Amino acid sequence: MENTQNNKDKQFKSGFVAILGRPNAGKSTLVNKLMGEKVSIVSPKPQTTRNKISAILTGTGYQIIFEDTPGTIKSSSKLSQYMQKSIESAGAGTDVVIVMIDACKGLTNDDTALLEKYNDKDIKLLCLVNKTDEAKPEQVMPILKYLSQKNFKEVIPISAKTGENVDIVLKKIVEMLPQGEKYYPEDMLTDKTERFMAAEIIREKMLYLYQQEIPHGIGINITKYHFNEEKDITEIDAEIFCEKEGHKAIIIGKNGEGLKRAGAKARMDLQKMTGGKVFLSLWVKVKKDWRDSDFLLNELGYNKKEL
């Protein structure tokens, strides 16, 4: 019996998988599809993901820790510098690197730079050509041909949105993983706290509702996260930081309707996350240069020491 258990342990695979690519390439959508539920937030806006979010997928004989990263960026703000460092730290010390290419936008210099950066390393490289559900064959085929000519061995065309070939991606990742032990308990889906995930859910709703009117200058600060046992409800207070008075007015909306709508949508996802009722209170504050404030960035969870 003991020998059988030892053989099972030896066959178990585990490791870290970094998902890299340009903004809106579909990285977060892929993570959520692989996980079978939402772990990373998604929106039509680029650079929705700001932190390196670890999603933990445990299956029969394997455990994968996905690191969903921000899209490659070029900006001088301290927030952008944090995001860039999170991309670089994700690529270091991982077992598998996935580079996602947006087939609709075509292959760019940033894509090829990422591929070449990791192709010669000991890290195993998997290239995914995403959005085959939207892109035309004449957009997809030249990319696949180029990658074949450059001898990138592991290339899979996929649609993270519809799930096309995502099962093949999962199988390939498991094949690439080294043998190892579980890093986390089987029922753990992410290494982030519920407080952090609450902030991400609220920010996602803001990006969806105000994708035209408000740029990415929105930050969410959770000031209260408390389960009230007497009332059997989770109480969450959050501050929404924006950079201009005009943005504040748009977020709040006429008679507060905009903020109510955002709160209602966020509350639905928060209740799914907590498994119970949620009382959510939102306040909007103008912080003109919050993206360049070390103090505020640290308050919002962008901690350089964790990278």
| pTM exceeds 0.85 for this model | no
Give the lowest-confidence range in 46-60, 68-82, 107-121, 201-215: 68-82
Residue 285's CB: how many other CB atoms inside 10 A?
A: 12
From residue 112, alpha-carbon distances to 38, 98, 109, 118, 302 in Å are 29, 13, 5, 10, 29
Q: Is 160 among the domain residues?
A: yes
Q: Are 177 and 13 in contact (CB under 8 A)?
A: yes
- pLDDT averaged over the chain? 80
Residue 158 has pLDDT above 60, yes or no: yes
Task: Judge contact between 156 and 128, C-beta under 8 A.
Answer: yes
- Tokens representing 90 are 């994700």
Last residue of a domain, one of 149, 176, 203: 176
Q: Which residues of 88-121 are buried (b: 16+ CB within 10 A; e: fewer)?
A: ebbbeebbbbbbbbbbbeebeebbbebbeebbee
pLDDT in the model for residue 43: 47
Within-domain flag for 47: yes
Provide the domain count of the chain: 2
- Indicate if 124 and 213 belong to the same structural domain: no
Q: What is the pLDDT of residue 118?
A: 82
Average pLDDT over residues 203-230: 80
- Are 203 and 162 found together in one domain? no
Q: Specify whether 13 is located in the same domain as 73.
A: yes
Among 78-82, 112-116, 174-178, 287-291, whose mean pLDDT is lowest?
A: 78-82
Structure tokens at 241: 């930081």
Q: How far is CA 24 from the centre of its chain?
A: 11
The better pLDDT of the pair 250, 2 is held by 250
Domain that holds residue 106: 2-176
Cα 203–242–207 angle (5° rounding)? 30
My answer on whether 81 and 157 are in the same domain is yes
Say whether both 36 and 102 belong to one domain. yes
Q: Do 103 and 208 reside in the same domain of the chain?
A: no
Q: Is the pLDDT of residue 235 over 80?
A: yes
pLDDT tens track for 94-110: 899 999 999 999 998 88
Whether the predicted pLDDT of 257 surpasses 50? yes
Dihedral (CA of 126, 303, 34, 56) sign: positive
Dist CA 109 CA 204 (whole Å): 29
| Domain boundary pick from 176, 210, 232 | 176
> Could you tell me what percent of the chain has a pLDDT over 70?
75
